[in-house]
Amino acid sequence: MSVKKLVILPDARLRQISAPITGVDKALRAFVDDMFETMYDAPGIGLAAIQVGEPKRLFTLDVSKREDNREPLVVINPEITWKSDEKNTYEEGCLSIPEYYEEVERPARVRLKYRDIDFVERELEADGLLATCIQHELDHLNGVLFIDHISKLKRDRVIKKFTKLAKRDDEA
């Protein structure tokens, strides 16, 4: 098991569309273990495979509050089958945009069709932070970031800041 390096804005990989997974083998299980280790280490409540450089339609989630009561969830090839008209606003952050937080409005509840770690088809209905997190992660699989849901002024400002930071690190 290992903590993997996170892909950070403005890395172009974050804009890639991830490819469907065709089956689960030993290598993919080991990769999922590494994703959990990376997510808990960060710490974060969700992690999409592309955030560690793998363009696969897969994310890990755990919105549980206590470390001694973890609720890990592996989501493969997800599809949202229903969104509520009712909206909810959360202050979102992203491990690929460290220490930047902004309010985002999204559907308050969603139904999700996906495959679990045994590649068995499942469905769940989510509300609250879980519903927000599912939508944030599914966006990553389509190359979409939470800053795409805020004003262009704020988005351009944060992209500019992270572009400068990346250049500085490059030159160092």
Contacts with ligand GNR, residue ranges (CB under 6 A) = 44-48, 51, 90, 92-96, 132-133, 136-137, 140
Q: How far is the CB of 4 from Ni ion (least distance, A)?
A: 15
Q: How far is the CB of 42 from ligand GNR (least distance, A)?
A: 7
3-state secondary structure the chain: CCCCCCCCCCCHHHHCCCECCCCCCHHHHHHHHHHHHHHHHCCCCEEEHHHHCCCECEEEECCCCCCCCCCCEEEEEEEEEEECCCEEEEEEEECCEEEEEEEEEEECCEEEEEECCCCCEEEEEECHHHHHHHHHHHHHHCCCCHHHHCCHHHHHHHHHHHHHHHHHHHHC
The entry of Ni ion, ligand GNR, none near residue 92 (CB within 5 to 8 angstroms by kind) is ligand GNR
Residue 94 or 141 having the CB closest to Ni ion: 94
Question: Per CB under 5 A, which region of 29-37, 70-78, 91-99, 120-128 contacts Ni ion?
Answer: 91-99
Catalytic residue among 121, 123, 137, 171: 137
The entry of ligand GNR, Ni ion, none near residue 8 (CB within 5 to 8 angstroms by kind) is none
Residue 53 or 118 having the CB closest to ligand GNR: 53
Tokens of 104: 């985002």
Considering just the CA atoms, what is the radius of gyration of the chain in Å? Answer: 16
Q: Reply yes or no on whether 92 is catalytic.
A: no
Q: Which residue has the tokens 């400068």?
A: 164
Maximum separation of any 2 CA atoms in the chain, in Å: 48
Closest CA to 75 of 17, 36, 27: 36
Tell me the residue nearest to ligand GNR as measured from the CB: 44
The entry of Ni ion, ligand GNR, none near residue 90 (CB within 5 to 8 angstroms by kind) is ligand GNR
Q: How far is the CB of 4 from ligand GNR (least distance, A)?
A: 14
The entry of ligand GNR, Ni ion, none near residue 78 (CB within 5 to 8 angstroms by kind) is none
Provide the binding-site residues for Ni ion, judged by CB under 5 A: 94
- The catalytic site residues sit at 137
